[in-house]
């Protein structure tokens, strides 16, 4: 389990973005806006060794849980049955223990099916090699047992029907990293290509 510290990717990103903004402001407001926008989507994982670019429109937010290193809010798509706006999608980034197989099985257990069928049978997984790392992609749908504060926060679980999760487990010598994007199925469908493009575009971070 990892926690955010002063040497975390979040702090490094914030310091970098502030520095770029200060330099850009000296060159004028138009340059400043462009520089900040350019930095807004970039983040690193695995102790700063890997770099990813978040899709346009995703908003970086303060993590809701202390075990999450980086978090994004994703604009919702459509309305619920009662006409209320659907909740925003959420993507979390964190390092954690356990095997790839054990974590995928745990994710299956976080979903149930309206027809009582097997979540595992309806989910899909795919293995890729990206930036020299083994990556497992997972796509799972159903009624999601949401724990907004994280699995160790002790909060209540909220059942969310018609949800979907896209996740990536990135293996490495220092441990595995987990990117989980979940939300209403319509929202995830709209941003699925962006999530996959972000993961497949992962590169070694510049030193």
- At 157-204, the pLDDT tens digits run 889 999 999 999 999 988 999 999 999 999 999 999 999 999 999 999
Write out the two tokens for 15: 């310091």
In a domain, 50, yes or no: yes
Of the given ranges (1-5, 53-57, 63-67, 192-196), which has the lowest mean pLDDT? 1-5
In a domain, 145, yes or no: yes
For residue 20, what pLDDT is reported? 39
Which comes out higher in pLDDT, residue 182 or 37?
A: 182
| Contact yes or no for 25/32 (Cβ under 8 A) | yes
| Contact yes or no for 36/25 (Cβ under 8 A) | no
Whether 1 shows a pLDDT value over 70: the answer reads no
In a domain, 165, yes or no: yes
Helix 29-40 crosses helix 9-27 at what angle (to 10 degrees)? 160
Whether 112 shows a pLDDT value over 90: the answer reads yes
For residue 147, what pLDDT is reported? 78
| Contact yes or no for 22/16 (Cβ under 8 A) | no
In a domain, 12, yes or no: no
For residue 45, what pLDDT is reported? 94
CATH number of residue 151's parent domain = 3.40.1000.10
User: What's the structural domain count of the chain?
Assistant: 1
In a domain, 13, yes or no: no
Q: How far is CA 195 from CA 54, 106, 115, 199, in A?
A: 8, 21, 28, 6
- CA–CA separation, 46 and 173 (whole Å): 9
In a domain, 69, yes or no: yes
Write out the two tokens for 172: 């490495």
In a domain, 11, yes or no: no
Q: 151: domain range?
A: 43-204
Residues with Cβ within 8 Å of 68's Cβ and at least 6 positions away in sequence, in order, are 4, 92, 93, 94, 150
pTM of the model as a whole: 0.77
Distance of CA 91 to the CA centre of its chain: 3
Q: How does pLDDT run across 133-166, given as a tens digit for each residue?
A: 999 999 999 999 987 666 555 567 889 999 999 9
In a domain, 177, yes or no: yes
Whether 71 shows a pLDDT value over 90: the answer reads yes
């Amino acid at each position: 389990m990892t926690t955010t510290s002063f040497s975390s990717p979040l702090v490094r990103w914030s310091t970098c973005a502030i520095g770029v903004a200060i330099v850009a402001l000296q060159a004028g407001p138009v340059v400043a806006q462009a520089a900040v926008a350019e930095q807004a989507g970039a983040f690193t994982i695995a102790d700063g060794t890997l770099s990813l670019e978040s899709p346009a429109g995703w908003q970086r937010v303060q993590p809701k849980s202390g075990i999450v290193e980086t978090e994004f809010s994703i604009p919702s798509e459509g309305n619920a049955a009662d006409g209320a706006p659907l909740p925003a999608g959420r993507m979390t980034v964190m390092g954690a223990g356990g095997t790839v197989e054990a974590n995928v099985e745990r994710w299956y257990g976080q979903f149930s099916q309206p027809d009582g069928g097997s979540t595992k049978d309806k989910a899909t997984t795919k293995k890729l090699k990206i930036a020299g790392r083994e990556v497992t992609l997972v796509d799972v749908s159903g009624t999601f047992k949401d724990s907004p504060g994280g699995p160790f926060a002790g909060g209540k679980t909220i059942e969310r029907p018609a949800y979907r999760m896209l996740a990536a487990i990135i293996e490495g010598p220092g441990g595995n990293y987990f990117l989980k994007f979940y939300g209403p199925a319509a929202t995830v469908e709209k941003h699925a290509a962006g999530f996959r493009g972000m993961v497949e575009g992962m590169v070694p971070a510049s030193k």
